[in-house]
Amino acid sequence: METSKPAWILLQNGLGLIVGFLTMVLILRDAGFHTWGLFSAALSFGLVFSFVSDLGINTAHVRMIAAGKDRNEYNNALIFMKVLLTLVYVGVIFLAVFIWTRVFHQAFESPLVYLSLLLLIPYFVGLPYIQANRAFFTGTQEAFKMSFPPIMESITRFIAVFVLIHMNVFHFPSSSSGLYQMALLISISYSISYAVYAILSFVVGMPWNFRMPKLETIKTYLRYSYPLIGVAFTTAVAANLAQILVFFAYGADQSAGFATDYRYILMITGFTMSVTILILPILTSLHVANGDYGKTMGQTVKYLTVLVTPLTAFIAVLAAPVLNLLSSAAIPYSFAFQIMLVGSWFWTMSIPFWTHFNAVEKTKISGTLNTLAYTLFIVLDIVLIPRSLADFRFAGLGVNGAAYSYLFSGIVLFIGSAVALMREVKIPITYKALKGSVMAILLGLLYYLFLHSLLRLPLLVLIGLLLLYVVAYIGLLLASKTISREELVEILNMVNFKKLFKYAVEELKNKSQ
């Protein structure tokens, strides 16, 4: 496969990690920990219903485009369904607020959460279209067109936060009430950046000829995606329920603690999952051509293991200093962060296994696996996070409970997906890949012996320790022949910027439709 494709995706997620980190630094240091908690609650309250705008059709679209279907016809069908589902999605958000406040007579901790939710409506409207375009570019394997809009979105959000919050252009007072009002400015920043994302996705995608899709096309989507509706529902709820439960049970400060941990996890997994993004269209193409997709997946698992394990081990050992880079108020949540990091390893490593079933049109299997895992995630959140709910007493573990539910459900998905796949396809997972993981963990344990008690470290010291870890790890990989020198050169060649630029120009010259 052309190395520029995964390189652009890695570059996008790497830049997203760095710019996202800097954005969070500005938010937490200028707006405050409590304010971040208020905003995070509003965002999660809206996103918990985002399954309404998906219903499995995003994954279906990747499969249809990768399988060589008529792009113009299927894009029209996708956008037609997305417009309808987006209207329903926004309506469901307002209905949920009405039911919560008027029927259940409940209230958020602050009216700023309501206002933040309203200001996030452009974000929620843009999200389904962005997902649609990303699904299309994934299916066409156009990595630059997939990566450029989110890169600009990250930069736009950072600029918006810098201007609105760091420079305080509206002159909010420095008192607690003034800082809390900055939750509104965070919401505006997110909505502005997603508007840029949506517009750029449309522009680089070479807009197609709009016309009403055929009914048969929509039926084709529904036949493929209906087993994934449960996944869409449980994924959206599981990804946001913990934030909501922590907020209502323990307030904005613990909500901010969980949000900080979880945002870090999303940034890290966004980077490590870059290797897996193109696996569905690649496997689909190989399946259509009767290719050896089992061998391709074996290689994906190998490289994914070598990439994910060292990063997970390093950050887990230095969890407190890493969180302190954002805010010292986040340090008490370092144990939950460590648990979630381990959980993220299982969630990430399971992706190639269950994606195989999407590639070969056995979505009932992948849908069942993911639905069960996310349902377990939701149940454990309810059982482990709050002290009580609807007059029933629960574990009351708070943020730690959310971390445990993320870990346990990830383990279940990993084991279930691996077993299901091994019963159907022989995947050549070599001992070398497992050996690479063992070496990464041993290096992490060595760091732990000397550094586990440290709560704060300067950024430059952390970067130095990371570079030392990476150099030592690569040396061990080469010495043990886990990867060859040729493989290492090929990996390093992925960051050839001249080659990346040339690839981007060529991709832009070719129409997507």
Let me know the angle formed at the C-alpha of 506 by 71 and 508, rounded to the nearest 5 degrees: 50
Residue 447 near residue 314 (C-beta atoms within 8 A): yes
The predicted-structure confidence for 142-158, as pLDDT tens digits, reads as follows: 888 888 999 999 999 99
Cα gap 31→156, rounded to integer Å:
18
pLDDT band at 168 (very low <50, low <70, confident <90, very high): very high
DSSP 312: H
Instruction: Tell whether the model's pLDDT for residue 302 goes beyond 80.
Output: no
| Residue 392 β-bridge partners | 389
More confident site: 384 or 75 = 384
pLDDT of residue 154: 95
Q: Structural domain tally of the chain?
A: 1
**Single pTM value for the model:** 0.87
The predicted-structure confidence for 241-274, as pLDDT tens digits, reads as follows: 999 999 999 999 999 999 999 999 988 888 777 6
Instruction: Tell whether the model's pLDDT for residue 358 goes beyond 60.
Output: yes
Helix (H) or strand (E) holding 336, with range, is: helix 334-359
Let me know the angle formed at the C-alpha of 407 by 403 and 409, rounded to the nearest 5 degrees: 115
The predicted-structure confidence for 449-467, as pLDDT tens digits, reads as follows: 999 888 999 999 999 999 9
The angle, 0 to 180 degrees and rounded to 10, between the axes of the packed helices 229-250 and 33-47 is 150
Residue 292's SS3 state is coil
For residue 114, the enclosing domain spans 4-509
Residue 181 near residue 198 (C-beta atoms within 8 A): no
Mean pLDDT is lowest, of 68-82, 244-258, 374-388, for 68-82
Cα gap 23→20, rounded to integer Å:
5
More confident site: 31 or 72 = 31
pLDDT of residue 276: 62
pLDDT band at 213 (very low <50, low <70, confident <90, very high): confident
More confident site: 488 or 91 = 91
pLDDT of residue 100: 83
The angle, 0 to 180 degrees and rounded to 10, between the axes of the packed helices 229-250 and 252-272 is 150
Residue type, 167: M
Helix (H) or strand (E) holding 182, with range, is: helix 176-204
Residue 97 near residue 49 (C-beta atoms within 8 A): no
